[in-house]
């Protein structure tokens, strides 16, 4: 979302938009079994390990999209393929309404969804005379000289310094930054430590279709600096030891639904590379063509393409952290997409007095859920510009990465925790956890409290649950806590197929696996007291 500082109006006769945007969904994929048996053909070893650690089985969404289908669509005169998504089994196309509709004749096409929703039910066009493009105020900056304490306030507000003092600075965690451009990151002194330590692992420019990362815009530079910049008497980020992938998905020259598709494509790439956290200071409500706008009723977490993609990203074991938006003072003050997604951690902005910044967008979602989740400093934030200067800036664009960096530090402390467990720790440690609202969400997190609460994860794993022997040759025994009553256990193959289901009736019980072939199996146990997931290897 190119929402910088100004508010302006543009008049667009609808006839200007002769080309439509649409998603073409396919019915099938090919060679599914091959990919299940050769997962390294679609995911990196690190990605597979993240799945294994969180007991997440491979599924249909992981299988690559059929390139033959894409090639057939590309060959249609008047059609441009703009992006693709294996998660959705869909491609984003641009063309006239009639040509796009003609794609439905292909037997492998499941459906076509136009970005202009009225075209999915009627041939009538909506007449709109003008659209307001609300521009974000997070680019208002002043060069300054600031004492170290000024930088520290961004971290100390969250009690993040306590993690840093214990050397939890994000080492071993990977953050993907999806943004508009990273001008200066390759040269600025603020990122010298990052470059020298080879913590920039790579990335891709999805807008230009090339590997040029340090181009187009500096918004991503400012965002990255809140996590990764380092210098004497200068900005210190919240996760200076984490590694980063940089992805450009936002086209600053226009506002078009294709940016949602590029975002999803980048999230899929992040998943395949084994990324732990996706940070995105982007959001979408209004487009250059107002027929594509997301109405408030669409902000239910399951309507926008990008929101559906963000939810799938979480289901792959990643944390997804996004900005709430800067529409709080407008007539439409609500969070946009993908901030409306159910499992996304949506971050609003406060000032140094821990009061909500007036510009910070609010909830609820259209289906009534609390948003944002948490708050962090977003007014008078200190960021690095392209020259390495420390400057003030405003916007939820910066409160989100501040949280992303601290989450990397927390996850470093509990590397065996799932993304859901880390998300729960974040919310449970926040100042308004017991009385959340749609201005502050669950409040300002206390990461020292989250660190202390996280010891419960280790305690529960060690004292209250055991599955043995593992690996096993014929059976597995389950040991439950003494106050266990009854429950169920399910075993699943590596492909996610249920292969065994048993009732558990005593604190110590055994189950035969003789009927199962050798391999890795995932189990899920649910009782009246707790639920637990894990994996067992049968030799």
Contact yes or no for 347/400 (Cβ under 8 A): yes
Tell which residue, 264, 274, 167, 163, has the closest CA to residue 206.
264
Tell which residue, 339, 287, 286, has the closest CA to residue 310.
339
Q: What is the DSSP letter of 297?
A: G
Measured CA to CA, the distance from residue 159 to residue 399 in angstroms comes to: 15
Measured CA to CA, the distance from residue 95 to residue 523 in angstroms comes to: 47
Neighbouring C-alpha atoms within 13 Å toward the C-beta of 281 = 37
Contact yes or no for 256/288 (Cβ under 8 A): yes
Catalytic residues: 179, 219, 397
Tell which residue, 459, 451, 465, has the closest CA to residue 529.
465
Q: What is the DSSP letter of 362?
A: B
Contact yes or no for 265/123 (Cβ under 8 A): no
Contacts of 393 (CB under 8 A, 6+ apart): 138, 139, 140, 141, 222, 381, 382, 383
Contact yes or no for 425/250 (Cβ under 8 A): no
Place of tokens 């020298």: 196
Sheet holding 508-512, edge to edge: 466-468, 475-479, 508-512
- b/e map 153-167, b = 16+ CB within 10 Å: ebbebbbbebbbeee
């Amino acid at each position: 979302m190119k929402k910088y500082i100004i508010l302006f109006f543009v008049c667009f006769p609808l006839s200007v938009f002769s080309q439509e945007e649409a998603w073409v969904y396919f019915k099938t994929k090919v060679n599914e079994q091959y990919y299940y048996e050769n997962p390294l053909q679609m995911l990196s070893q690190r990605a597979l390990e993240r799945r294994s650690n969180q007991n997440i089985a491979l599924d249909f969404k992981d299988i690559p999209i059929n390139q033959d289908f894409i090639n057939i669509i590309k060959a249609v005169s008047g059609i441009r393929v703009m992006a693709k998504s294996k998660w959705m089994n869909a491609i984003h196309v641009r063309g006239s309404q009639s040509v796009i509709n003609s794609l439905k004749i292909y037997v492998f096409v499941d459906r076509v969804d136009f970005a202009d929703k009225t075209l999915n039910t009627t041939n009538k066009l909506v007449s709109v005379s003008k659209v307001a493009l609300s521009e974000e105020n997070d680019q208002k900056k002043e060069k300054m000289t600031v004492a170290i304490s000024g930088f520290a306030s961004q971290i100390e507000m969250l009690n993040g310094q306590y993690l840093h003092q214990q050397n939890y600075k994000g080492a071993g965690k990977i953050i993907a930054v999806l943004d508009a451009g990273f001008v200066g990151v390759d040269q600025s002194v603020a990122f010298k430590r990052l470059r020298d330590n080879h913590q920039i692992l790579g990335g891709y420019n999805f807008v230009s279709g090339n590997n040029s990362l340090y181009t187009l815009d500096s918004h991503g530079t400012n965002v990255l600096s809140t996590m990764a910049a380092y210098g004497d008497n200068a900005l210190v980020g919240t996760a200076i030891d984490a590694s980063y992938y940089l992805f450009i998905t936002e086209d600053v020259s226009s506002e078009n639904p294709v940016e949602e598709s590029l975002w999803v494509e980048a999230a899929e790439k992040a998943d395949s590379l084994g990324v732990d956290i996706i940070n995105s200071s982007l959001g979408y409500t209004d487009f250059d063509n107002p027929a594509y706008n997301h109405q408030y009723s669409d902000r239910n977490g399951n309507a926008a393409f990008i929101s559906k993609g963000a939810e799938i990203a979480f289901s792959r074991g990643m944390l997804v952290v996004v900005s709430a938006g800067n529409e709080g003072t407008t007539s439409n003050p609500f969070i946009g997409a993908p901030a409306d997604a159910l499992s996304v951690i949506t971050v609003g902005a406060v000032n140094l007095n821990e009061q909500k910044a007036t510009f910070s967008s609010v909830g609820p979602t259209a289906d009534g859920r609390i948003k944002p989740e948490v708050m962090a400093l977003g007014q008078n934030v200190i960021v690095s510009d392209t020259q390495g200067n420390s400057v003030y800036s405003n916007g939820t664009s910066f409160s989100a990465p501040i949280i992303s960096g601290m989450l990397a530090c927390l996850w470093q402390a509990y590397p065996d925790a799932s993304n859901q467990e880390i998300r729960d720790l974040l919310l449970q440690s926040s100042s308004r956890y017991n009385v959340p609202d749609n201005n502050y969400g669950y409040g300002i997190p206390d990461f020292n409290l989250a660190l202390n609460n996280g010891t419960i994860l280790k305690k529960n794993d060690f004292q209250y649950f055991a599955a043995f022997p593992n690996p096993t040759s014929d059976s597995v025994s389950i040991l439950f806590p003494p106050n266990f009553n009854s429950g169920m256990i399910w075993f699943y193959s590596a492909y996610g197929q249920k292969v065994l289901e048993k009732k558990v009736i005593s604190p110590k019980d055994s189950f035969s696996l003789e009927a199962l072939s050798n391999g890795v199996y995932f189990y899920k146990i649910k009782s009246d007291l707790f639920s637990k997931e894990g994996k067992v290897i049968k030799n």
